[in-house]
Amino acid sequence: MKFSGSLSEKDKEKASYDIIGVPFDGNAYKKGAREGPKAVRRASQRLETFLWHEKLELSDLRYYDHGDLKLDHKLEAGSIKELDVARKKVFIGGDHSISYPIVKYLFEHGGVAKVIAVDAHADFRDSYKGKKFSNASVMRRIAELIGFESVTEIGIRSSSADEYDLMKDKIRIYDAEMLPEKGVECILNEIEGEEEKTYLSIDIDVLDPSIAPGVENPEPCGMSLESLLALIRGIIGKANVVASDLVEVNPRLDSANGITSISAARIIFEILAGYWESDNRY
Ligand SMILES: [Mn+2]
């Protein structure tokens, strides 16, 4: 099953954007995120294809769902090499560790220079349970690769004391407590006009667990879906976002009617509409 609104295979050359599933949970402690891409594709069929906020039909956005990308257990790029780096992309995880090989490839081949992560967790441990490439270390590895000053984390409300000490003066942080008031506007003003190619990584656990229960590490006091969608719309409108991911949907831990997957599909609609609007605004 393809993501809702995808062009058919015969029309795939007409696509401006790519969707790629990454069914990998080799670095997660509780397994199940490998089933995320399939569940999110299925959930996308349950939503209306007319985007109320933008007054756009999904099919007008012209994207193609390429199916799944294989990552091996060492997180080597695998079939990433077959992708056209010039087209805007959305990757559907998978545990958060998938962001590292994708960013590494795009950093080395596609000119991605900055990463904005929207997440409940700092993911800044040097290693977790002996794994250097764990989903709990992904932003640390990315910062070491692209430079700490090129990393922004938004929505953070959980880290160890050691992680906090390491990151607090080195990366740009807008934590969860800054968001409800003037936080979103402040973030958007600060990123406005930044021209460097940016990768936007969205961990669904940034949402409050009451609305996104199907995650490995639920963290209380999270964002509403409305604020997250407004944030995504703003970031894509103001920064030069060339690729995004949506990670950590774990269907095994979701509610019976799959609300986390539905929220994830809705977020991906917003990313695609954001790409379309930033390319067609003028
Ligand atoms: Mn997280």
Number of domains making up the chain: 1
258 C-alpha vs ligand 1 centroid, how far in Å? 19
What is the whole-number distance in angstroms between the Cα of residue 249 and the centre of ligand 1?
A: 10
9 C-alpha to center of ligand 1: Å? Answer: 34
Q: What is the mean pLDDT of residues 246-272?
A: 98
**Average pLDDT value for residue range 243-254:** 98
The pLDDT, as a whole number, for residue 86 is 87
Tokens of 62: 């012209």
Question: Given 3-state DSSP classes, what are the helix, strand and coil percentages for the chain, each rounded to the nearest 5?
Answer: 40, 20, 40
Domain membership of residue 1 (yes or no) is: no
Q: How many whole angstroms from 282 Cα to the centroid of ligand 1? A: 36
pTM of the model: 0.96
CATH classification at residue 115 = 3.40.800.10
Q: Distance from the CA of 220 to the center of ligand 1, in angstroms?
A: 12
- How much distance in Å is there from the Cα of 234 to the middle of ligand 1? 21
DSSP code of residue 223? B
Range of the domain at 38: 9-280
pLDDT tens, residue by residue, 24-77: 998 888 999 999 999 999 999 999 999 998 899 998 999 999 999 887 655 555
Is residue 245 within 8 A of residue 202, CB to CB? The reply is yes
CA 280–ligand 1 middle distance (angstroms): 32
| Of 232, 219, 237, the residue nearest 271 (C-alpha) | 232
Distance of CA 79 to the CA centre of its chain: 19
Answer yes or no: are the C-beta atoms of 76 and 6 closer than 8 Å.
no
Q: What is the pLDDT of residue 194?
A: 85
Between the CA of 154 and the centroid of ligand 1 the distance, in Å, is 11
Helices 225-238 and 184-191: crossing angle, nearest 10°? 10
Ligand 1 centroid, distance to 248 Cα (angstroms): 7
Residue range 96-155, pLDDT digits in tens: 999 999 999 999 998 899 999 999 999 999 888 888 888 889 999 999 999 999 999 999
Could you tell me which of 209, 245, 213, 214 has the C-alpha nearest to residue 32? Answer: 214
Average pLDDT score, the chain: 93
Give the per-residue pLDDT at 21: 96
* Residues by chain with Cβ below 5 Å of ion ligand 1: 119-121, 203, 205
In a domain, 2, yes or no: no
What is the predicted pLDDT for the residue at 116?
97
Q: Is the confidence at residue 81, as pLDDT, over 80?
A: no
Q: Is residue 3 part of a domain?
A: no
The pLDDT of residue 79 is 65
- Mean pLDDT over 242-257 rounds to 97
Is position 270 within any domain? yes
Q: Which helix (H) or strand (E) holds 242?
A: strand 240-247
The pLDDT, as a whole number, for residue 73 is 58
At 277 the pLDDT is: 94
Q: How far is CA 236 from the centre of its chain?
A: 12
What is the Cβ-side half-sphere exposure of residue 175, based on CA atoms within 13 angstroms? 10
Amino acid symbol at 191:
I
| DSSP bridge pairs for 121 | 158
CA 83 / ligand 1 centre spacing (Å):
27
- Cα 108 to the center of its chain, rounded Å: 19
Integer Cα distance of 234 and 221 in angstroms: 22
Taking every pair of Cα atoms in the chain, the longest distance, rounded to a whole number of angstroms, is 52
Q: Summarize the confidence of residues 159-185 as an average pLDDT.
A: 90
